[in-house]
Amino acid sequence: MNTQTNNTKPVDTKLKAFIFDVDGTLSDTERDGHRVAFNQAFKEYGMDWHWSVETYGELLAVTGGKERMKFYTEKFLDKEDIPENIDTLIPELHQAKTRHYTELLSTGAIPLRPGVERLINEARQRGFRLAIATTTTPENVTALLTHTLGADSIDWFDVIAAGDIVPAKKPAPDIYDYALKEMNLSADECIAFEDSINGIKSTLGANLTTIITINDYTKEHDFTGACAVLDQMGEPGKSFSAITGNINGSTYLDCDLVIQLHQQSVTD
Ligand code: XBP
Ligand code: MG
C-alpha cells in the first residue's frame, strides 16, 4: 500500500509529537559548521590546534563541544603540550567557537537536510507537536532555525531542550527525558529523529521509537533498535534509500510513514 497520497484525514494514532535531534539530523552541521568554527576559534586564540575532517570524525565519539575539546587534549596531545590554564581556556574557546558558528549559519552556508522542512511543515499541518532534543548550545539551535525556517519557527517547537540544561549529555537519555517531561507526554506518544550512535543510545534509553537518517560521519554506526534507518528523509521525486525498516513502498518520509513506523514499533 503506497501511502504517498495527500492524506489530511486524521489517522487514529497514539502518536502526538515529533522530537528532532539537530546536528546531523536537521542539518549536516558537523564537518562544515562546527568543525570549521572550532578551527576559527583556535586560530583566534593563536593556538596551533587544527581539526581535519578525519580527526573531527574521531572526536565526534564525544558529544558536547567543551567535552570534545577536553577529549582532544587527552587523546591527541602530549601532557607537556596541554596549556596549563586548559580548564579556564576551554569555556572561553567554546564561546568563541559558538560566535564563529552562529556567524557561519547567518551566511546561509548550512542548509536543512532534504525533506526536513517539508516534514516539519506537514507535521504542524497535521496537528503534531514538535520538540528538539540536542547536545548543542541553545544559541546554535536558535541561529539554525532562524536562518533556515525563519525566526517564527522557534515558536513551532513546544520544547527546545539543548546543551547543558541536563546533567548528562548523549548517549545518556537525559535530554529526551527532559523533553518528554516538559511536554507532559509518555515515550510511546512520541517519535524521535536521530543520526548517530550516541543519539540512538539516548533515545532508546528514553524508550523512544527512533527513525535514523545517516550522514557521512555516522553511516558506519550501529543503529540496532531503530524502527528505520534511511540515508535521508527524501522528497517527492528525490527518493530516500531505506537501509532498514518496513517502509511499504514509500519513497520519502512523510507523516503517514512516520505514523506507520511508530504504530509498528509501539505494537511490536
Ligand atoms: C551534537 C553534538 C554537539 C555539537 C557541537 O549534537 O555533539 O556537541 O557537535 O555543539 P546533537 P556544541 O545532539 O544535536 O547531535 O559545541 O554547542 O556542543
Ligand atoms: Mg546528531
From 134, 214, 218, the mutation candidate for ligand 1 (largest count of ligand atoms within 8 A of CB) is 134
For residue 13, what pLDDT is reported? 78
Is 21 assigned a catalytic role? yes
Question: 135: closest CA among 99, 100, 107, 94?
Answer: 94
pTM: 0.95
* 255: CB partners within 8 A, 6+ apart: 119, 122, 123, 126, 128
Q: For residue 198, how far is its CA from the centre of ligand 2 (angstroms)?
A: 8
pLDDT of residue 267: 77
Q: Is the confidence at residue 58, as pLDDT, over 50?
A: yes
CA-to-CA distance for 98 and 95, rounded, in angstroms? 5
Task: Note residues around ion ligand 2 (Cβ under 5 angstroms).
Answer: 21, 23-24, 195-196, 199
> Which has the closest alpha carbon to 3: 239, 243, 254, 212?
254
Residue among 24, 49, 82 nearest 216 (CA): 24
The ligand placed nearest to the CA atom of residue 132 is: 1
DSSP conformational letter for 238? B
**23 CB near ligand 1 (under 6 Å):** yes
Omega within 30 of 0 (cis) for the link into 171: yes
Q: pLDDT tens digits for 11-20?
A: 567 999 999 9
pLDDT tens for 116-139 read 999 999 999 999 999 999 999 999
11-20, 107-116, 153-162: which has the minimum mean pLDDT?
A: 11-20
CA of 116 to the centre of ligand 1 (A): 18
Handedness of CA 118, 124, 127, 133 (dihedral sign): positive
Please tell me if the CB atom of residue 171 comes closer than 6 angstroms to any atom of ligand 1. no
64 lines ligand 1 (CB under 6 A): yes
* Average pLDDT score over the chain: 95
Instruction: Please work out whether the CB of residue 183 comes within 6 Å of at least one atom of ligand 1.
Output: no
User: Is the beta carbon of 34 within 6 A of some atom in ligand 1?
Assistant: yes
Distance 104 CA to ligand 1 centre (A): 15
How confident is the model at residue 224, as a pLDDT?
A: 98
pLDDT of residue 189: 97
Q: Which amino acid is at 255?
A: C
Within 216-267, strands assigned E span 228-230, 242-244
Best CA proximity match to 141, nearest among 39, 29, 59, 18: 29
pLDDT in tens, 223-232: 999 999 999 9
Cβ atoms of 94 and 68 closer than 8 Å: no
pLDDT of residue 8 exceeding 70: no
Q: Is residue 256 annotated as part of the catalytic site, yes or no?
A: no
pLDDT of residue 157: 98
- Maximum Cα–Cα distance for the chain, whole Å? 65
Mean pLDDT of 43-60: 98
